Chain A
Amino acid sequence: MAEAVAIILCVDDEPNSLILRKLVLQKAGYEVVTASSAAQALDLLGSQKVDLVLSDQLMPGQTGTQLAQQIKTNWPKLPVILISGVNEIPPDASFADLFMSKVEGPQAMCQKISDVLKAR
């Protein structure tokens, strides 16, 4: 691979969801780092190179949109995709580059990540 493998920071408070999503992304060829909260994700971003953040929306503590807002404040060029189990788009969703449903399936998810990375 001529280009370096993209690193994705995957954020979710539910361990099973987080591990399985990580495996799907690894299978798609990405390098994956994980965080189980927005706070942990922000810590990691301070010490580690990341190409894209894929975060759950509803988490204890800060929500995905709040995380996206902070990321865009500190790293304006870092793409953020929010993935949600709820069917309603939160009013501050625009901080993220994309807002998608969890039930669109793994292939659709990987496709969207790829699109966002290419558009970067």
Chain B
Amino acid sequence: MNAHDKVNILMVDDQPAKLLSYEAILGELGENLIKALSGREALEILLKTDVAVVLMDVSMPEMDGFEMAEIIRQHPRFQKTAIIFISAVHLTELDRLKGYQRGAVDYISVPVVPEVLRAKVSVFAELHRKRRELEALNRDLEARVLERTEELQESETQFRTLANSIPQLAWMANPAGDVFWYNQRWYDYTGTTLEEVQGSGWHKLHHPEHVTRVLQGLEHSWRTGASWEDTFPLRRHDGEYCWFLSRAVPISDSHGKITRWFGTCTDISRQMAAEEALRKNERLAAMGRVAGIIAHEINNPLEAITNAFYLLESHPSLDEEARALARMASEELARISHITRQSLSFYRESQQAVPVSVATVLDDVLELQARHFRISGVELDKAYKSNRMILAYPAELKQVFLNLVGNALQAMPAGGKLRVTVRETSERGQLPRGIRVSVCDTGSGISPQDAKRLFEPFFTTKSVKGTGLGLWISKGIVQKYDGTIKFRSLKLTGGSATCFCVFIPGAMAVQPPGTLAMAKVM
């Protein structure tokens, strides 16, 4: 509907001549003129047609103008339809007219002055046209609002789906920084509910050492509108902390006013662990290089001295006492040689894995620790139930077992019992079969808190002596063989029992005697 559409004007009179005269008067308005000869006919037309103005003679047979107006008004659709009565003015009729004052009602007295009729009809026609325009505009607006609402709902649904599908934890806060929404992943990770963590309830999930800095950073952003980024540990539902990289950006309306903050937390604990492991590996590689250099620098003079004393032992110019001294020196030098070969050789001593007897490696380790057994008064109980060989690098196995035996001995400073067992087995009854070595002590035991971190690098319970690398390296070595390293520590009456179990798959079918001796070149 636009401003130039014609509107319908319904003229009602029982006298056709009068209708014709109205038609002549109103013709120049350029609207649609509809004629009705009775109230009934007029009603029928009203029901079918959108009428702007009804021009009606008051005195008609059958149904007079007032009666008809009454009926028209009862219908909700016509309550606003303008009605102009044409009548000789009587006082009584004027009173009745007042009853309609609320609606769009007017009257014209006879004789009809054409200009007056045209003016009045024209006003109502225009009013109707405007109303129709407004109604159309309104409908259009309503449709658009509906459409927009649907769009928003769709967009909201998409947002929720997206927010719940991303691997990050996500949240939204109002401009003052009160969090009012988290995605599902947040709740899954933290094990909290919105009630617990909305507003500033999330503070308690932060690590005490970091929360102050995190808050300062965020408050700075709330204040300045600058986006925020930080890295911090966040407590998981089980109480463990994982590291997250967190970012928050302000979301602004079309006027640039911040309406909310949107934040994400990305779990970076794996990257951090990988970086850490890389650093440790580099440190270890450096340590290995240093060990190699030291070995070389010690071994060269060591050989010369050993040879010198060897020659002195039987030198004809020396008396028996001097030769005895040379022999003692030789014995002690042999101990140094043994140590440098054992401790400065934590590297791959051959290019390829060779058949290794686990029992032999264990015996080497136990021999190396023999002095400690004596000093601590630890009783050794060996139970080798397999003499099978595995393909391995002997120095690596030696390092693992030296670590386990060394730890066990350190846990028993006041004596105890160490049981070393070797048996063929399979992991959870599955192939491949392999060798299981257990090292069990009756020492101080492992507390549940320590147990969690035992295989972490630089974790040590020995305040001074330990590097904290032993078990971490051991685990790395065992994993290289697709094996496992596990432990159990039980509190018993009068002490505790701690057992480390190393499983290495792939036992060889036979034990070829002497193979190891040939492969071992040092």
Contacts and interface: CB of A to CB of B under 8 A. Distances in A.
B349 interface: yes
A103 B344 CA distance: 12
Given A20-B311, A23-B311, A87 B303 contact: no
A87 B310 contact: no
Interface centre among A17, A85, A103 (most CB of B within 10 A): A103
Contacts of A3: none
B300 interface: yes
B185 to A, nearest CB: 49
A21 B307 contact: yes
A24 B307 contact: yes
A20 B307 contact: yes
Contacts of A27: 311, 314
A87 B304 contact: no
A99 interface: yes
Contacts of A98: 521
A46 interface: no
Given A23-B311, A27-B311, A100-B521, A85 B292 contact: no
Contacts of A23: 307, 311
Contact of B337 (A21, A99, A105): A105
Given A100-B521, A101-B341, A85 B306 contact: no
Given A102-B303, A103-B303, A87 B308 contact: no
Interface in B280-334: 291-292, 295-300, 302-304, 306-308, 310-311, 314, 334
Contact of B344 (A16, A87, A91, A100): A87
A58 B303 contact: no
A88 B334 CA distance: 20
B349 A89 contact: yes
A85 to B, nearest CB: 4
A86 interface: yes
B297 to A, nearest CB: 8
A43 interface: no
B292 A88 contact: yes
Nearest to A23: B311
B300 A17 contact: yes
Nearest to A100: B521
A99 B304 contact: no
A9 B394 CA distance: 32
Interface string B209-220: 000000000000
Contacts of A88: 292, 347-349
Interface string B345-368: 101111100000000000000000
Contact of B296 (A16, A85, A104, A107): A85
- The contact size tier of chain B is 20 to 34
A27 B307 CA distance: 11
A20 B304 contact: yes
Given A87-B349, A87-B522, A101 B299 contact: yes
B341 A103 contact: yes
A104 B314 CA distance: 19
B302 A102 contact: yes
A87 B345 contact: yes
A100 B308 CA distance: 19
B300 A102 contact: yes
Interface in A1-56: 14, 16-17, 20-21, 23-24, 27
B351 A89 contact: yes
B340 interface: yes
Contacts of B296: 58, 85-87
In this complex, the member of A85, A100, A107 whose beta carbon has the largest number of chain B beta carbons within 10 angstroms is A85
Nearest to B307: A20
A91 B296 CA distance: 17
26 contacts: A20-B304, A20-B307, A20-B308, A20-B311, A85-B296, A85-B297, A85-B298, A85-B299, A85-B300, A87-B295, A87-B299, A88-B292, A88-B349, A89-B350, A98-B521, A99-B521, A102-B300, A103-B302, A103-B306, A103-B337, A103-B341, A103-B522, A104-B522, A105-B334, A106-B306, A107-B310
Interface of A: 14, 16-17, 20-21, 23-24, 27, 58, 85-89, 91, 98-107
Given A86-B295, A103-B302, 16 more contacts: A17-B300, A17-B307, A20-B303, A20-B308, A21-B303, A23-B311, A24-B310, A87-B341, A87-B347, A88-B349, A91-B351, A98-B521, A99-B521, A103-B299, A104-B337, A107-B310
